[in-house]
Amino acid sequence: MELTAEAYPDNQPLESVYMGGGTPSLLTPKQVNTLLSRSMELFGHKPDIEVTLEANPGTITLEKLQGYFKAGANRLSIGVQSFDDRLLETLGRIHRKEEILDTFKWSKDAGFRSIGLDLICGLPGQTEESWHNDLAKAVYMQPEHLSIYALSIEPGTPFAKIYPDDSELLPGEDKTANMLEYADNMLVTSGFEHYEISNFARPGHRSAHNCGYWKRDGYLGIGPGAHSFLKKGWGARWGNQPDYKLWSESLINGSLSPSETHILTREEALSEVLFLGLRMSDGILLDSFTEQFGESIESRFAEDLFQLQKAELLSCSSKRISLTSRGMLLSNQVFVRFV
């Protein structure tokens, strides 16, 4: 953080801090307090700053949560994945359903009033009935936020060797799409706002930090493999060295040593504004786009907009464009038009 503050001295006070990736709930409250206190000194915090900490059940206690809250964390993202012990074992998770329930209760007891749960569909051996049960349990718990993801298996991982794309143990694309559609209908009916392709929130509980990504606000990544973006010119993106040994050696030698840096062109920035902005239900304001790029979306993509509206994937008004519910399920078919 000290090296980053020296390298990028013109930043505004932080609007959000997100401790995620890996298992931040392995940190002690004292470590969290040290990190947040030092970030305040180096960058400054806005008075209403959102401080999110990812917590994995099985690594957490009431005392830890109380310490995190006292240190300044005010939002939790709990990696539930599923309430089905059999599916959790398949995923190699160390926690079980009872630990999820304990973690959620302790989070409330510790003082957190903005708690999110992450759930995954399309798991090996998962049925639509078990998915419906997971959603029902999540809604019953009354969290403020839910993130719903379809399982993504990375090539070359042990999981990919066990479950290739054509594995009969995987639900398949059609069933997974049905699961996502069911989640959309159920959660919206239950009072959640579907504000981003994978995210649902009670009113006033959107993730400010993640919204910043989709709006292309600037952010600084601290840690090995973390990525950053600053909106200078058309924008610059870079990633930290992912190899821990090389990363730590660079810091000890007083260097940030990014592993990759990319200065965006106008066309790249234009595409990013479209496919990132359309992830959110708010969509993209037409006047704002014209102001940024000196041309209108309507003139640049007239035929694409017509075809996407015809397919009921995109909604266009006099002020904005946004994905329809169907468009959220088939978003890649929309984004490819603007890349």
Express each pLDDT in 116-137 by its tens digit: 999 999 998 899 999 999 999 9
Predicted structure pTM score:
0.93
**Percentage of the chain modeled with pLDDT above 70:** 99
State the pLDDT at residue 268. Answer: 97
Mean of the per-residue pLDDT values of the chain: 93
Query: Which domains does the chain show, CATH number per domain?
Result: 2-207 (3.20.20.70), 221-264 (no CATH), 281-338 (1.10.10.920)
* pLDDT above 70: residue 166: no
State the pLDDT at residue 163. Answer: 72
Q: What is the pLDDT of residues 296-314, one digit of tens each?
A: 999 999 999 999 999 999 9
Quickly state the pLDDT bin for 9 (edges 50, 70, 90). confident
Q: What is the pLDDT of residues 265-274, one digit of tens each?
A: 999 999 999 9
* pLDDT above 80: residue 156: no
Quickly state the pLDDT bin for 140 (edges 50, 70, 90). very high
Quickly state the pLDDT bin for 93 (edges 50, 70, 90). confident
Strand positions, DSSP E, 56-183: 75-81, 115-121, 145-150
CA–CA distances in Å: residue 206 to residues 16, 181, 186, 200, 210: 13, 20, 18, 8, 9
Do 20 and 54 contact (CB within 8 A), yes or no? Answer: yes
Give the residues across from 193 on adjacent strands.
201
CA–CA distances in Å: residue 283 to residues 74, 231, 264: 28, 20, 22
Q: What is the pLDDT of residues 224-245, one digit of tens each?
A: 999 999 998 999 999 999 999 9
Dihedral in degrees, nearest 10, Cα atoms 145, 151, 154, 160: 150
Nearby residues of 170 by Cβ (< 8 Å), 6 or more positions away: 122, 124, 151, 163
CB atoms within 10 A of CB 66: 16
Q: What is the pLDDT of residues 176-232, one digit of tens each?
A: 999 999 999 999 999 999 999 999 999 999 999 999 999 999 999 999 999 999 998
Residue from 150, 197, 195 nearest 173 by CA: 150
State the pLDDT at residue 258. Answer: 81
In terms of Cβ atoms closer than 10 Å to its own Cβ (0-12, 13-18, 19+), residue 53 is: buried
In terms of Cβ atoms closer than 10 Å to its own Cβ (0-12, 13-18, 19+), residue 18 is: buried
